[in-house]
């Protein structure tokens, strides 16, 4: 069944399904609309009220903030204690993994003996464990915020500072004060 609606000089056909969808979309509840091709009627499934959706979002936001603040503390400590990590996001990420997540770093002997008589070891992270470690892009974003907005722990090399578009006078003042 369809209704005719005049839009200017043209008549537009609007199906009852479209009308129901418009009405239900304006409701206070989140809905899923599925139109079955066999019965040609609208089935509405209620998922959750707006209040419960806000509650679950708030819980997720709190846990994400906690993880971010924990990672920020770890990054600050590594940047403070390891100056080489200020120039490379990859090295910074590896330092964080080695210091705070050693249970995910596996050692495998290579069978070769170094000049000092100690057997060489290759370190790796198993694919099943990679999701437990902080991602490099998160580390990079937090490091950039610390260095660009707070002007703390700037890069040790001018080449890196220039690539990151850090103001030369700010960098020179910072590097002179931290010698």
Higher pLDDT, 115 or 11: 115
Measured between alpha carbons, how far is 143 from 137 in angstroms, rounded to an integer?
A: 10
Lowest mean per-residue pLDDT among 3-7, 62-66, 124-128, 159-163 = 3-7
pLDDT of res. 111:
85
pLDDT (tens digit per residue) in 112-156 = 888 888 889 999 999 999 999 999 999 999 998 988 888 888 787
User: Domain extents for the chain?
Assistant: 2-50, 82-177
């Amino acid at each position: 069944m369809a209704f005719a609606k005049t839009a200017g000089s043209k008549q537009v056909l609007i199906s009852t399904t479209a009308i129901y969808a418009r009405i239900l979309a304006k409701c206070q509840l989140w809905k899923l609309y599925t139109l079955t091709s066999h019965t040609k009627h609208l089935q509405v499934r209620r998922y959750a009220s707006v209040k419960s959706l806000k509650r679950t979002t708030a819980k997720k936001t709190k846990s994400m903030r906690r993880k971010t603040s924990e990672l920020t503390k770890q990054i600050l400590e590594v940047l403070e204690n390891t100056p080489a990590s200020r120039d490379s996001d990859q090295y910074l990420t590896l330092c964080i993994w080695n210091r705070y997540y050693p249970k995910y770093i596996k050692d495998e002997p290579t069978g070769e003996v170094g000049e000092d008589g100690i057997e060489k070891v290759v370190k790796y992270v198993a694919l099943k464990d990679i999701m437990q470690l902080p991602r490099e892009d998160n580390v990079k974003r937090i490091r950039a915020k610390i260095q660009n907005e707070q002007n703390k722990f700037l890069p040790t090399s001018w080449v890196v500072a220039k690539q990151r578009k850090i103001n030369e006078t700010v960098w020179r003042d910072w590097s002179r004060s931290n010698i």
